[in-house]
Structure 1
Amino acid sequence: MESPLPQRRTLKSRSWRQIIMLTLLALFLVPVAARAALFAFEDRPNGWRNADWSSIGALPAAAAHPQARVLFLTGRTGGLKGAVAVHSWVVFKRPGARSWTRYDVVGWGNPVRLNGWAPDGRWYGSAPTVVADIKGAEAEAIIPAVEKAVKDYRYSNYGDYRLWPGPNSNSFVAAILRDIPEIQATLPPNAIGRDFRPGPYVGWTDSGTGFEASLYGLLGVKLGWVEGVEFNFGGLVAGFDIRDPALKLPGFGRVGLLSSTANAALAPSR
């Protein structure tokens, strides 16, 4: 008589596979599908030529803002990828500087761009969102580290840029935050490419406040005070924020209370 054990093991194996597939569907594919459906009804420019790249008029003129300041910003990107992803950049000024400095990474030509757009400019027509805003003496102290991180960025040559899984604009800004953990900030979950690494990684999170295990930024998990709890699948991130309670959903980004790190930095200037 044939033993029922092999059949039971097969059924358990199938059950686990179904659970895994349903979990992936619920955490990653359903939010992406929902965000794509909403995106289809949004009024969006049909190309970069028709997009509004102008300043939103929030940051003051550099000469009118004597203290040092550093901001990390994101804006929803264009094309179909805008349904699920944002673009990131860094802006800063030294004490008494008469102009802002902005660094981005883009996908054409030499990737790293200096002052290609207004510091608080729209990205493909979308107003920017603040990830971190550092002012005064603290900003003055980290600006040299920001400049060094930009200079040392290893993917700054022609042809280095890759839209997915990276290195892209979000990989660039994430590398800066990684080099300066005292900023205590992380890019939003829809900054696809932020978790890119050139190889497998197990160790501290970028902020130094938790643990991370990652396979090229395509599969991974994070647990930390700044990063919260995150699961990465194919560059899409789901989880929840601990420090500033919120859900983290693929496509939608951070859904919850305004992050305390932003400090309402882009209130319209007067």
Structure 2
Amino acid sequence: MHRFFVLASLFVCMASGCVSHDWRTASRESAGIAPAPDAVKEAVIQVYGASAWGWRGWFAIHTWIATKPANGSAYTVYEVIGWRQRRGLPVVRIEQDLPDRYWYGERPRLIKELRGVAAERLLPDIDQAARAYPWPETYKAFPGPNSNTFVAWIALNVPGLGLDLPISAIGSGYAD
């Protein structure tokens, strides 16, 4: 009986998210994966994924793309953020930012990287595909469109990127 209560308590704690996660205080600092823009002269394209926020992170990731042109002084981050919709903002976010930020406490991992001339040639195509995304005001965690739909849309429209998202990028199939 004691074992049942311990297991039930553990399950309730995990299911309710009683771990000490609070999105307002969760880390958003650089994970130190991307090279500093001034340290690398060549163009850089990086695709990142990090466990989704809260219980969704048990099985799903959030993905985004970061780019830097040759001799660029900053990275541009392309992503979809669902809670922007509730604030009346477009869900698509294209801004200069840290490329490898923790996703609200979750360390990102590098899914794909291109550098040099091959990356430089794809930068305009990535930007154009991101700005032509057909659901800039809409977000649905499942089945999509969501952050993974956005990155998959870019990959479909920029085949030179050669990007295959992992199965945990739930919503990526919505772009098909």
Q: Which interval holds the TM-score relative to the shorter structure? A: 0.7 to 0.9
Q: What is the aligned counterpart of 2:152 among 170, 174, 186?
A: 174
CA distance in 2, matches of 1:121, 1:112: 17
Unmatched runs of 5 consecutive residues or more in structure 2: 1-10
The structure that is strand-richer by fraction is: 1
Q: What is the aligned counterpart of 2:91 among 111, 114, 118?
A: 111
Say yes or no: does 1:136 pair with 2:116. yes
- In 2, are the aligned partners of 1:53 and 1:117 still within 8 Å (CA)? no
Q: Which residue of 1 aligns with 2:8?
A: none
Say yes or no: does 1:52 pair with 2:30. no
Q: Which residue of 1 aligns with 2:55?
A: 80
- In 2, are the aligned partners of 1:45 and 1:51 still within 8 Å (CA)? no
Say yes or no: does 1:127 pair with 2:102. no
CA distance in 2, matches of 1:95, 1:45: 41
Instruction: State TM-score, norm by structure 1.
Output: 0.55
CA distance in 1, matches of 2:55, 2:18: 13
CA distance in 1, matches of 2:115, 2:96: 23
CA deviation profile, 1:197-252 (whole Å, cap 9, x unmatched): 4xxx6xxxxxxxxxxxxxxxxxxxxxxxxxxxxxxxxxxxxxxxxxxxxxxxxxxx
Unmatched runs of 5 consecutive residues or more in structure 1: 1-36, 202-270
Amino acid at match of 1:179: N
Say yes or no: does 1:101 pair with 2:101. no
Q: What is the aligned counterpart of 2:143 among 136, 154, 165?
A: 165
Task: Give, in angstroms, the shift of residue 117 of structure 1.
Answer: 5.0
Structure 2 counterpart SS, 1:113: strand
Aligned residues: 159
Instruction: State TM-score, norm by structure 2.
Output: 0.82
Amino acid at match of 1:50: T
- In 1, are the aligned partners of 2:74 and 2:96 still within 8 Å (CA)? no
Root mean square deviation of aligned Cα: 2.2
- In 1, are the aligned partners of 2:149 and 2:174 still within 8 Å (CA)? yes
Amino acid at match of 2:164: T
- What is the aligned-residue identity percentage? 31
Q: Which residue of 2 aligns with 1:195?
A: 173
- Structure exhibiting the larger radius of gyration computed from Cα positions: 1
- In 2, are the aligned partners of 1:174 and 1:195 still within 8 Å (CA)? yes
- In 2, are the aligned partners of 1:62 and 1:98 still within 8 Å (CA)? yes
